[in-house]
Every structure is written in C-alpha cells, then in structure tokens.
C-alpha cells in the first residue's frame, strides 16, 4: 500500500496517475476536499481508499507499518500569498512533523514536498540546510521543516526524502486558481481574447524577463517514483531542471502552440513587492550524484505537451 497525502491536489494527483501507470492501484489518497473541484483530478485514477486529512494521523498511527510501503507527503497549503502564520505553521509544519515521526517509529519511507520558496531572495540554490532566506511564511514553514528533518536524518532507520520543488506546471492544476502556473493562465487568456499577460519588469529585470526554473509535472513525478525504487537514498534535494528561463519563454511557447496571440505587460502587483522571487535556478548536483540521471523537459517541449493535454480536456 502507498499513501499519497495531497493526493487530489496538483503534484499529488499526477503522482497517483504515475503510480497507476507502474501498475500500482493499492493507493490511499489523503486530502481535504473542501474544494470539491479537486475530485476531477482523481476521478479516473485507480485508488484503494480515500481518507480526510483530519483523520489521517490517527489512521497512520493505528495502521503502523501494516502493509504500507511508503508515504508521499504532498499535502500542504501552497499559497505563497497566505499570511496567516498560525494556520500555515499548523498545516505545513506541525502536521508534517507528526506524520514524519509516526513514519520513523514504524520505519515507513517518507518522501515529502519542500519548496524552492525556502531560498527566497538568495542567489545560491544549493541545498545548504540552515541558510534559507524565505520571503513569506509559506517558505518559512517549508524551511523550518527541512531543518527539522535534517536533525532527524542521522537517527533515521528508514528513508526520509525532501524534494524542493521549483516552479512546477502541467496537468491537473486548474483548481489552484490564482496560484496555478503562468502556463495555465496563458492558456486561459489566449482562449479568451488572444492576449497573454505578464508582469512588467522588477528587481532590475525587463518586462517578462524575470527568470525561474520551470519544471514539467511529469518530471517531478519521475523523481518521486525513482525515490520509491531507491529506499537507500535519503536527504533533501532540489527538484528542478537546473536551467532558468524567462517568463517570456512561457508566453512565446503558448503563442507558438496556438499560432496566434500577443503579449501584454501589466503593472507589477504592489502586494508582491518584497516577497517575489525574480530568479530561481535549481542546483541539481546532489540529486545527480545520488544517481538520478533522467532528463527534464525544457520550457518549449514542456509547454507544448501541456497545451496539448489542456485542449483535449472536456469543458466544465
């Protein structure tokens, strides 16, 4: 049995489908379906059971290691504009600590979602626990848990892996609203009026020239599946492509796919000033040194694959 928390969310639901593709359907999905639209992400997936996130920790403690091969802990509040620190720390930090400690007690492999938000304004994207510089409370919640994990690793008798996801985009993110990827918003915009919109320049970057490490979601899933097959690997790792590309490349890839469209630059939002990452680029050396050799999609092929998936989806 494999447990996926956040299994109806973005990366989680894609991981469930990835596990199905490997022949696994003994999957327990844990989530909070208060946003009922998320069920669309798993309606065609093969799962064994569903558990609400409020019931999961008790279930895990009672079930123990009885048939559980691994816990993928992807459930979290991922809204970088959420400033309720008490909620964020309870949901992302305390809940994760409790899940980790139960898994450690029963020696259940624990593979969890961290985030590139831990780096904040830093230009050093090597995994260096304790040197994080988050710009928001979401990034802080993830950085603090990474630090907690690093103190536990030397005593762990089972696999513990943290994956610091950079800017992930791809299928099954529509429920995220404003937090969905730029690629998804561009798809919506070009369908509506043929104009894709990007922020004007900031932090010394020109219009749409802020650069980030954009990761196609299937590549993120592949890293998770590789970790499942390599229980001897533990630690905190970056999950990106290792290449930074400007937001303009996303816009151009979407316009090229549809062979139409213009780009409009909108004023940089005041509420994001001082909390926005204008540059990210994963240092992938540590993951590569551990033996992960698969390639990652660049923006052009990744966006084309995503747009092709989107246009095939039924309109809801």
Catalytic residues: 138, 176
Q: How far is CA 257 from CA 128, 213, 224, 308, in A?
A: 39, 21, 29, 9
The residue assigned the tokens 């490349």 is 249
From the number of C-beta atoms within 10 Å of its C-beta (0-12, 13-18, 19+), residue 191 rates as exposed
Q: Which of 42, 39, 105, 102 is nearest to 73 (CA)?
A: 102
Q: What are phi and psi of 2, to 5 degrees?
A: -120, 135
Q: What are phi and psi of 175, to 5 degrees?
A: -70, -10
What sign has the CA pseudo-torsion 46, 312, 303, 140?
A: negative
Q: Vertex 288, ends 161 and 149: CA angle to 5°?
A: 20
CA gap 230, 96 in Å, rounded: 22
The residue assigned the tokens 């930090």 is 93
Instruction: Write the Ramachandran bin of 290: left for phi over 0, alpha for psi from -120 to 50, otherwise beta.
Output: alpha
């Amino acid at each position: 049995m494999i447990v996926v928390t956040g299994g109806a969310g973005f990366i989680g639901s894609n991981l469930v489908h990835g596990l199905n593709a490997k022949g696994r359907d003994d999957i327990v999905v844990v989530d909070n379906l208060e946003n009922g639209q998320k069920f669309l992400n798993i309606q065609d997936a093969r799962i064994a059971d569903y558990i609400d996130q409020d019931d999961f920790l008790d279930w895990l403690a009672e079930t123990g290691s009885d048939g559980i091969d691994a816990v993928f802990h992807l459930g979290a509040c991922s809204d970088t504009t959420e400033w309720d620190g008490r909620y964020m720390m309870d949901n992302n930090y305390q809940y994760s600590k409790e899940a980790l400690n139960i898994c450690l007690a029963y020696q259940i492999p624990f593979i969890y979602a961290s985030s590139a938000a831990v780096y904040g304004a830093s230009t050093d994207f090597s995994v260096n626990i304790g040197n994080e510089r988050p710009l928001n409370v979401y990034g802080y919640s993830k950085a603090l848990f990474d630090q907690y994990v690093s103190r536990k690793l030397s005593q762990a008798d089972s696999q513990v892996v943290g994956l610091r996801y950079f800017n992930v985009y791809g299928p099954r993110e529509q429920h995220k609203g404003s937090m969905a990827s730029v690629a998804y918003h561009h798809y919506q915009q070009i369908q509506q009026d043929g104009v894709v919109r990007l922020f004007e320049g900031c932090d010394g970057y020109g219009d749409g020239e802020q650069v980030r490490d954009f990761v196609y979601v299937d590549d993120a899933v592949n890293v998770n599946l590789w970790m499942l097959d390599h229980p001897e690997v533990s630690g905190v790792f970056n999950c990106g492509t290792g290449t930074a590309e400007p937001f303009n490349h996303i816009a151009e890839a979407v316009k090229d796919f549809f062979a139409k469209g213009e780009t409009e630059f909108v004023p940089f939002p005041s509420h994001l000033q001082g909390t926005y990452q204008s540059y990210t680029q994963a240092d992938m050396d540590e993951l590569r040194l551990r033996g992960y050799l698969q390639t990652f999609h660049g923006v052009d092929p990744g966006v084309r694959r995503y747009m092709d998936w989107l246009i095939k989806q039924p309109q809801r």
